[in-house]
Every structure is written in structure tokens, then in C-alpha cells.
């Protein structure tokens, strides 16, 4: 599906999506370079920043280049294998983003609510285990969606009601929408959507409770500013993605959910590096040292 039928809007869309893509890639590359090249950032927390940047950059690269090519060539066709590949990679990186944001919320909860026990709780084996589990769960989700799509032997239409190969839209193309498939979709939506959201909200609830006990009003404002911006981006990403995934089981409208899909596939990966990393004092210091070495 094209983002717009108006030919006058196509150059604007190309420029807008290209700018957002370049900003996202540049921001995440800077974070990856800063974390990997600066010995001062040899802290476990920055491992999550590194992985989140890598996931965001890979995530947006699965959709935006294809969108730009489709607009430029005026072609909406994608091959079956290419569609499955895009869907698989998209699912892996979306789930990886989802899990890393949950882990980072827990990391902040431990750092703020139990600062003296932080080195003991967030030890290297636990951090490695959390990253490994996040990766394995992401691969599992991707393979489960692949299995469901590959079981479709007849399609009621060849038009995907989205501007990329959204797994929820592909499942809607089946002529035989079985009850078991719906159950699996709702289970995956709850497991990969509701559980992380619940964990993140609980972590930030405990964080805000601790912040309220800070005597300094300046400290409260700074903490609330950081946590509020984090929570806003998390809710934007998980809420829109979760809504699109489960909303398509009810609505089959060709245009409904397009703006929402843009929010979680393009906008939130662009906001993450600014929201989580580039506002961080240590990351800023690492970037300055990286710039001074380059000069």
C-alpha cells in the first residue's frame, strides 16, 4: 500500500523519511562508536545503550529503504521471499527493542531504588543472561510468525494493507482464519506486549515513589524530566505497536493504522538515541573525547 495517492506529496514524503532515517542512523552510530571506543564507559548500563542503538538502527533499516525505493520507482510490488525476510527481521528487532526497553527500566529501578545493592544485583552474569533471553525470545517470536504465515496455502487478496510487510496484516490475508491462529496471536500480543508494559509501568511506579522522597526540588525536577521522557517514548512505541498488532484482528481497513505504524516503525527509533543516550552526561563526555581524537 502506498503512503499517499497524491503525487504532489511523494517528494515531501521522500525527503521526510530520508531525513528521519539519516538522523536515526547517525544518532545510533554515534552512540555505538562512543560506547565501544571509550574505556570510561565500561559500565554494564551502557551495554544496554549499545544494544538498543544497534536494534533501532537495524529496525528502521528493514522498512525505510524499501519505502523510499517504492516511492521513487512507483512500484508497490515485493517478492514473497523478500516480504517474509522483511517480516522476520522486523519482528526480531521490534521484539529486541521491546525486551531491551524493559530491561533498561528494571536497570533504572535498581539504580534509583537500591543504589547500594546495584553492583550486586546487576552483575555481569545477570546482564548477559537478560540479553541472551531477550535475543532468544525475539528469535522465537519471529519463527512463530514465520510458521503461521507459511501455513497459509490460499490468500483472499494479494494486497498488503500496510506500507511494509506487517505480520498482523499478512495473517489477515488468509482465506481460512482459524481459531487457533487467533489464539496464538492474542497470546503473543499479551506475552510480548502486555507483560513488558506491565513490567515497565511497575518499575517506573517504584522509581517515581523513590523520587518523591528526594528533598531537593531541583533533583525531583531532573529525575521526573528524565523518567517522564523515557516513559513517554516507551508507551509510544509499545502502545502503538501493540495496538496495530491486535487492532488488525478487528479492523481490516486499508488505511486505518498507517499513521500509528509510522510512529512505532520510524519515529520512535529516531527518538530513542536522543531520549536515552544523547542526553546522558557520560555519553556526551564520550562523544566529546571521540571528536577530539578524530580532530
pLDDT tens digit sequence for 9-18: 888 888 999 9
Average pLDDT, the chain: 80
Q: Per-residue pLDDT tens for 200-235?
A: 889 888 888 887 777 766 666 666 666 776 777 777
Q: What is the pLDDT of residues 184-199, one digit of tens each?
A: 777 887 788 788 888 8
Tell me how many degrees the CA angle 93-232-251 measures, rounded to the nearest 5. Answer: 65
In this prediction the pTM is 0.84
Q: Measured between alpha carbons, how far is residue 58 from residues 55, 148, 189, 249, 293 in Å?
A: 5, 24, 22, 27, 27
Say how far apart CA 286 and CA 39 lie, in whole Å.
9
φ, ψ at 274 (rounded to 5°):
-75, -40
Superfamily of domain 7-294: Rhodopsin 7-helix transmembrane proteins (1.20.1070.10)
79 to 28, 76, 165, 171: CA distances (angstroms): 30, 10, 11, 17
Average pLDDT over residues 22-36: 86
Question: pLDDT tens digits, residue range 239-270?
Answer: 777 667 666 555 545 555 677 778 778 888 88
Q: For residue 292, which of 45, 47, 38 has the smallest C-alpha distance?
A: 38
Give the residue with greater pLDDT, 291 vs 170.
170
Handedness of CA 177, 95, 63, 235 (dihedral sign): positive
Answer whether residue 154 shows pLDDT above 60: yes
Tally Cβ neighbours within 10 Å of residue 172. Answer: 19
What residue has cell string 510490488? 77
Percent of the chain with pLDDT over 70: 83
Checking if the pLDDT of 42 tops 60, the result is no
Domain boundaries, the chain: 7-294
Residue whose grid cell is 508494559: 197
Gap between the Cα atoms of 171 and 165, Å rounded: 10
The pLDDT of residue 137: 93
Q: Distance (Å, rounded) from C-alpha 246 to C-alpha 169?
A: 10
- What is each CA distance from 45 to 107, 127, 214, 257, in whole angstroms? 7, 9, 23, 35
Amino acid at each position: 500500500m502506498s503512503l499517499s495517492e497524491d503525487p504532489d506529496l511523494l517528494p515531501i514524503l521522500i525527503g521526510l523519511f530520508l531525513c528521519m532515517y539519516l538522523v536515526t542512523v547517525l544518532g545510533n552510530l554515534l552512540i555505538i562508536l562512543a560506547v565501544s571506543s571509550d574505556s570510561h564507559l565500561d559500565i554494564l548500563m551502557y551495554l544496554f545503550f549499545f544494544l538498543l542503538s544497534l536494534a533501532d538502527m537495524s529496525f528502521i533499516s528493514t522498512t525505510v529503504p524499501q519505502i523510499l525505493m517504492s516511492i521513487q520507482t512507483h512500484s508497490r510490488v515485493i517478492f514473497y521471499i523478500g516480504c517474509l525476510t522483511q517480516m522476520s527481521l522486523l519482528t526480531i528487532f521490534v521484539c529486541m527493542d521491546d525486551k531491551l526497553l524493559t530491561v533498561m527500566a528494571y536497570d533504572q529501578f535498581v539504580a534509583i531504588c537500591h543504589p547500594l545493592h546495584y553492583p550486586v544485583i546487576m552483575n555481569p552474569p545477570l546482564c548477559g543472561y537478560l540479553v541472551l533471553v531477550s535475543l532468544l525470545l525475539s528469535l522465537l517470536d519471529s519463527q512463530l510468525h514465520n510458521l503461521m504465515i507459511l501455513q497459509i496455502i490460499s490468500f483472499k487478496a494479494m494486497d498488503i494493507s500496510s506500507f511494509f510487510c506487517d505480520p498482523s496484516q499478512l495473517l489477515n490475508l488468509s482465506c481460512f482464519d482459524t481459531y487457533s491462529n487467533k489464539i496464538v496471536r492474542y497470546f503473543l500480543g499479551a506475552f510480548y506486549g502486555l507483560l513488558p508494559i506491565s513490567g515497565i509501568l511497575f518499575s517506573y511506579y517504584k522509581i517515581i515513589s523513590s523520587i518523591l522522597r528526594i528533598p531537593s526540588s531541583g533533583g525531583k525536577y531532573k529525575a521526573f524530566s528524565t523518567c517522564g521522557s523515557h516513559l513517554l517514548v516507551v508507551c509510544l512505541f509499545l502502545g502503538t505497536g501493540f495496538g496495530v498488532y491486535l487492532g488488525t484482528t478487528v479492523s481490516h481497513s486499508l488505511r486505518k493504522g498507517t499513521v500509528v505504524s509510522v510512529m512505532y516503525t520510524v519515529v520512535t527509533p529516531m527518538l530513542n538515541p536522543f531520549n536515552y543516550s544523547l542526553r546522558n552526561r557520560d555519553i556526551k563526555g564520550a562523544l566529546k573525547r571521540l571528536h577530539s581524537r578524530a580532530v
